[in-house]
Amino acid sequence: METAEKIRNLPKEEVAKNIEEATGLLEKEQSLIEVETEKAVFVGDTHGDLSSTLTAFDKYENIGYKLIFLGDYVDRGEYQIENINFLISKKLEKKSELILLRGNHETEEMNKAYGFFREVARKYGPNFYELYIKLFSNLPYAVVVNKKFLALHGGLARNLNSLEDIRELKKGEMNPRGVAMEILWNDPIDFIEGFETSDRGPGIYYFGKDVLDKFLEKNKLSILIRSHEPRANGVSIEMDGKLYVVFSCRYYGIKPGALVLNGDKITPSRL
Ligand SMILES: [Mn+2]
């Protein structure tokens, strides 16, 4: 891949400068971003699948779409450094036209367990990771589009009642806990009521449809858009059409998906 080659060969000093500049931009973004737009594309986990990321930009960036990525850019996949470095350079170029949310893999714990920390140490030296984790710690947690659609990486959280609660989340933690951690990690599940402890580990929960219904209604929202779990067709519409799941990394043997907003309507698509 020509682009991958180009990104791979960026000098270390230039990569460092880009990360620091992008961190400066992200520090100014709220934990909850609020946007109004006729056209937007939601991209789910990419996990080093640079090809999905490039396809999203190729297809949508020059025809007026806001690009909204739901986190999990690194760990697992073949081009994790290229993927995050590409997104960072695009953030510098597109500013608020590109929204990068935080995923559970934009944390120190996950990067140390699933490969990104080592990849970075091998390529740029042992201290370079500090730049990435500072950037990750400043990614926003969620975005509300047109006051109707809430997008985040994982799911709703036990002590999350209003959008105000997301707005008040502090950024800057390498490994968030509490509501922030649950937003990055929780999964929806049919056939339960309220919250149940998750198989994923301590501090993580499943939430039922009643939780979703209540949250959407209370906050006058219509749909929750989230990523975090692969779906065979990249996209699936669940819980009576109130939950849209999008996953965009092909390393799970799935077809990478995207969700395309035009006006009032969100349509499943492929990358
Ligand atoms: Mn995830």
Please, which residues have CB within 8 angstroms of residue 130's CB and are 6 or more apart in sequence? none
Cα–Cα distance for residue pair 46/247, rounded to 1 Å: 7
Query: What pLDDT score was predicted for residue 1?
Result: 66
- CA quadruple 142, 156, 216, 190: dihedral sign: positive
Neighbours of ion ligand 1 (CB under 5 A): 72, 103-104, 228
How far, in Å, from the CA of 102 to the mean position of ligand 1? Answer: 9
Helical H segments across 44-189, by residue range: 50-60, 80-94, 108-114, 116-124, 129-137, 163-167, 178-185
How far, in Å, from the CA of 226 to the mean position of ligand 1? Answer: 10
3-state secondary structure of 251: helix
List pLDDT tens digits, range 39-63: 999 999 999 999 999 999 999 999 9
How far, in Å, from the CA of 97 to the mean position of ligand 1? Answer: 23
Query: What pLDDT score was predicted for residue 252?
Result: 83
How far, in Å, from the CA of 175 to the mean position of ligand 1? Answer: 14
Query: What pLDDT score was predicted for residue 120?
Result: 98
To the nearest whole percent, how much of the chain has pLDDT over 90?
A: 94
Is the domain spanning 2-266 CATH 3.40.190.10? The answer is: no
Taking residues 112-140, report their average pLDDT.
97
Please, which residues have CB within 8 angstroms of residue 145's CB and are 6 or more apart in sequence? 35, 36, 37, 40, 68, 151, 261
**Domain residues of the chain, as ranges?**
2-266
pTM score, whole prediction? 0.97
Query: What pLDDT score was predicted for residue 4?
Result: 83
DSSP one-letter code for 261: E
* Both structure tokens of 81: 């450094």
List pLDDT tens digits, range 189-239: 999 999 999 999 999 999 999 999 999 999 999 999 999 999 999 999 999
Q: For the purposes of burial, counting CB atoms within 10 Å of the CB of 241, is it exposed (0-12), middle (13-18) or buried (19 or more)?
A: exposed
Q: Which residues are catalytic?
A: 105
